[in-house]
Structure 1
């Protein structure tokens, strides 16, 4: 059964996020105001590997959750920017490594019940170091062997949802395809 929408009103907006209240009729429940979070820019992430099978990750602090953790490079595609070009730019800006090849990995809706946030994940290879990270707030950048990445995943040291999804997909279903 589909919900029926009767309109929406904006509660908040910025260049990064918009919050709306949608007037919806939910079958079996009735008419309610339902909050919706929209993202004006497309979200992109990438699993970055080298010929030795190592993974390029960032160790950083997220003040909202108060946690340190390992993450894959990620960011936003500007309006009209090709998502693959956007993640190549983000990888270089965040790590100082320029990818040689960027291929689609998986797409998913991160918070389908309340948000339009849609992630496009890529696999980047053939990286060449071209400098240092542009933004020093990104944290520590390291190449880690697969066995260490698996340990990080299973110990909760990759808590960022987009990183957890991209790495898990790469290490699992991607290899079976």
Structure 2
């Protein structure tokens, strides 16, 4: 069943988040406001090395006051392609540069309330270029064996949805490593 959107108006806006009221008609004919959070897309990079380890960041998320392991990620800027954003974020946050990036998985984490998309890319040929330039992202970086990821998820050491989707795709081996 498809809902029909008759209009949309702004309730609140910043450069990072937009709260909108949509005038919607449900399949049964009921019509009314439905609140939606519009967010920029998030580009994520799963950098995997020849030893089948993935590069992860240990970081604190102040909104939920939680610590966890995450893949490098960030917002896709206006006019930027998602793969370029994924490469930029990998480099800024870790000091590693992707030689190639290919799509790994696409997710819509809360499609009933937000239009945010998590676009996860994979690189198997990242190379170290120097210290990270973004100094507010993580306490440490570590190459983590893929074989440890399931246990980390079970222990809630990985809770970010973008990271969960990315590492689960790696575990499913949706796109096998190159070479």
TM-score, normalising length from structure 1?
Answer: 0.92
Matches within 5 A, 1:1-177: 1-28=1-28, 30-39=30-39, 41-139=40-138, 140-172=140-172, 174=174
**SS in structure 2 at match of 1:75:** strand
Count of matched residue pairs: 175
Q: Extract unaligned runs of 5+ from structure 2.
A: none
Distance 1:31 1:98 in 2: 50
Q: Give the CA RMSD over aligned residues.
A: 1.6
Could you tell me how far 1:105 is from its partner in structure 2?
A: 0.8
Q: Which runs of 4+ in 1 moved over 6 A?
A: none
Could you tell me how far 1:65 is from its partner in structure 2?
A: 0.8
For the Cα contact (< 8 Å) 1:55–1:149, is it kept in 2?
no
Could you tell me how far 1:29 is from its partner in structure 2?
A: 7.4
Distance 2:9 2:175 in 1: 44
Distance 1:94 1:84 in 2: 15
Could you tell me how far 1:175 is from its partner in structure 2?
A: 5.3
**SS in structure 1 at match of 2:7:** strand
For the Cα contact (< 8 Å) 2:105–2:165, is it kept in 1?
no
Q: Extract unaligned runs of 5+ from structure 1.
A: none
Distance 1:81 1:21 in 2: 27
Distance 1:147 1:134 in 2: 30
